[in-house]
Copies of this chain bind each other. A is one copy, B any other.
């Protein structure tokens, strides 16, 4: 595809050709007021003609930053996360920033490695959603210590008071559970992720509180833990619970995939949804309106969370004295998206 020609034009080339100094070129190119109109115009014209492009590598070194935002997530190919990234990328692009992406594959070790790699790449800020098993956050402390601010999104650390964007997970868990209770359900199963993760812990707490406030006993056999909350794991969880002497009459799954896996199983054994088992999921992924019956879910504004996380990052970056900033926690409200499954 075309000829290759690595000799890139520099400000020195332009300077020589115009018989001015490189600094004049440098200044003219960024519309420095102290450079004459004539000169500026001439420089720009030649730059365009010669196809001059600034060497970002040199500029980065000189300015000690990369104009890049790092994004570290468990997996990019999940509906919620890919939309989150889409929101981040769109905002970043508009603000003139690049986006460097890495996935942890939900592994703590990979998270540590990649955090270091991103910091080494001198990203100006790091937007992070934690790996499932992460309970030690010291690698992020290291990042901040080295001058890379961190904004957490969705899967945020326990007891964290720094910059973060999330939903109100406790309330979401409470509301989802209450929604099922309001529809007459008494034996409500919970599909949860690791309780070491704050988001799942909070949803669990909301679930327990809702049951308690309605005088419904907590039954441990109805609480299923799952590593990844995949479709397959959802199937496995419900299969186990349907064998109980008194099986659940409803399921609150803390993501949609596991709910859908369970629904598929329930349908396959001839039980009716929602009559025999009602379902409510979380995230409101597109698949909710594809399954039959459509899956009730809790809203989860992925793109918006991405935009907000990026905005926070930008604010930190542009603050001259990052030390004195007050950290911001954005906690978004969710609501039930009612559909036929409950």
Residues of chain A at the chain B interface (Cβ within 8 Å): 1-6, 8, 51, 53-58, 60-61, 64, 66, 68, 75-79, 81-83, 85-86, 89-90, 93, 98-103, 105, 114, 116-117, 119-122, 137, 140-142, 144-147, 150, 160, 162, 231, 260, 264, 286-287, 289-292, 322-323
**20 extra interface residue pairs, beta carbon distance < 8 Å, beyond A57-B122, A76-B82:** A1-B150, A2-B142, A2-B145, A3-B145, A4-B147, A4-B323, A5-B146, A6-B146, A6-B147, A8-B146, A53-B120, A56-B122, A57-B60, A57-B61, A76-B85, A76-B89, A77-B85, A78-B82, A231-B286, A264-B289
Residues of chain B contacted by A83 (CB below 8 angstroms): 77
Q: How far is the CA of A66 from the CA of B5 in the complex (A)?
A: 18
Residues of chain B contacted by A66 (CB below 8 angstroms): 57
- The contact sample of 23 A-B pairs, CB cut-off 8 A, is A1-B137, A1-B140, A1-B144, A1-B150, A3-B145, A4-B147, A5-B147, A6-B146, A51-B146, A55-B61, A57-B60, A76-B82, A77-B79, A77-B82, A77-B86, A82-B82, A89-B102, A93-B114, A99-B101, A99-B102, A264-B290, A286-B287, A291-B292
Copies of the protein in its oligomer? 2
